[in-house]
Structure 1
């Protein structure tokens, strides 16, 4: 049993209750990601006898799960506006306001507390979610990205655990060049997702992360040239995943329909979320991609995938929702 599994099993021993709490944690991750791929991180902590998991956005802890329940930051301004909803919280048996040092934040005003649902009764979550998500938005608006020391603490293995435990596609943060320029670290971080497979399949999955092996061969047979420009110089083309390798399961990592063979400038723009493609294959240009830079790179609105099949669509949908940059 991994440290993450041991930690969560010890503080949330009931499997169904644990999954329900983790699903709320996952909702917050998805919301944080919608405000910026570099804005958030998660990690498993142990502070003396206290242990659990945390979500950070910008410079602030916004969601903790530990033995006392689910600790949440709620937007103070919205609480002051929504008096009826605030009274619901005041009267609830499953919510208690925090006390002491971390009962509120001042830099981005919040009121914080513990949510401890009883059994399967999670009826208060929609009320809390509105205040909590408003707070995530305000924190994201204040901070340009997750602080650097918290980036180093982000634990990819926790994201792998959440995906497996919840059987849910969840995004990964992107802090710039680190994950893309160090694929071998990513392969090592996520080794638990493929290490039990036969050696030949394991090798194919690892090679697929760096655009080689059977994944590249299959893409070359399928596309033959760049999927967008038609460039036929094989040595220049990059075998790129549509749904990022780190977010994919082992089938998806080798699926030819989760791949595009791309010229380097298109691959980089696609990988970094400056472009995506709609269900007809037409290019989508991010609002964060300036007209000047589009012209310099020769990327324009008339571009499209040279072919597209139904099996591509779920991967493209994931890319649009989780990778494509949106202007802040």
Structure 2
């Protein structure tokens, strides 16, 4: 089924999704009557009730079904997801970006199976049994590129094990893809530019790939979504963030570069709140990366730096 959506892009739910295909305009699962399509929405709804959709280590997306009060039932939207292959319908997933905000298209998925998870709170805080679907993405990526430094370090890791180790190459690329999948559940967009369209962002590790443990490499909280020029500055240590969320700018960053990049280097404001784990990774970035990675290239910098 041909769809007018591009992975990573943002769309207005009423006009660009339901206005084209129909279906219920409220709730987490929409089942248009006139099209062989099932539309699932993931985001903050479950988090506010004490649970959230997540990616496991095998790149399977665990998606909680619909039903706000009492045990979830395998009917309506829940059945539509579980039986979409049997019914000959395409399953797509959009990410909620916040009330009144557009929705991010994550692409086509396939439901592999489902399970019941007891002890899940409902809208009123009462514990109930929830239906959770195991979804596999059918997309090669989420429209999100790896940062420049990450990609170089990943390529180097693959080269180190030799050209014949296709298994090792697959493992490395899978870890990077899993990191990107988890990161978009933590960060909505670039903190410096406000861009949220994944097609124009990069997934940047806070604690560099080469310095991270296996678990840190796939931890979404060890990352930021950054526009390419902001990613370059962060990766190479020209900028960082303080524990209070304020921007730190290296004194070695040429002033003309700051102007030409068009970024507002306002060190007096806070660029959002970071989680406890993000703060830990940022401490490493400040201590090891910030104001250090550019040392090799400093002789070429403007004398006005």
On whether the aligned pair clears a TM of 0.5, the verdict is no
Higher strand share: 2
What TM-score results when the alignment is normalised by the length of structure 1? 0.38
TM-score, with length taken from structure 2: 0.41
Structure with the higher fraction of residues in helix conformation: 1
